[in-house]
Amino acid sequence: MFTPERPYRCSPSVALRPEPFGALAYHFGTRRLCFLKTPELVAVVRSLADHPDVHAALEAAGLPAGQRTAYLGALAGLAAGGLIEPRPGEPAADRLEEAA
């Protein structure tokens, strides 16, 4: 389940190939190919590991508040496909798992 209050990262099994529209993301474990349709989404995915949670990554990317819901939906889809994942061993992630 995608929880934007958690710290995430791009899966280490994923390669991002820059394209004019954004990027292609390829998961070597599942062989799944996904299109990241905007350069802004690529920037968010690349920076997830640098921020305490997904909301902070969206803010750091300078996305307007009105666009964040769409980006959260895109990130939820990437999480469902295993392209992004919760960062292991993070205190915030551990607290959320204990509460569940």
Confidence of residue 89 (pLDDT cuts 50, 70, 90): confident
* 71 close to 92: Cβ distance less than 8 angstroms: no
Confidence grade of residue 94 (pLDDT, cut at 50, 70, 90): very low
Tell me the residue ranges of DSSP E strands in the chain.
Answer: 8-10, 14-19, 22-27, 32-36, 84-86
Question: By the 8 A CB rule, do 71 and 41 touch?
Answer: yes
Q: What percent of the chain has pLDDT over 70?
A: 89
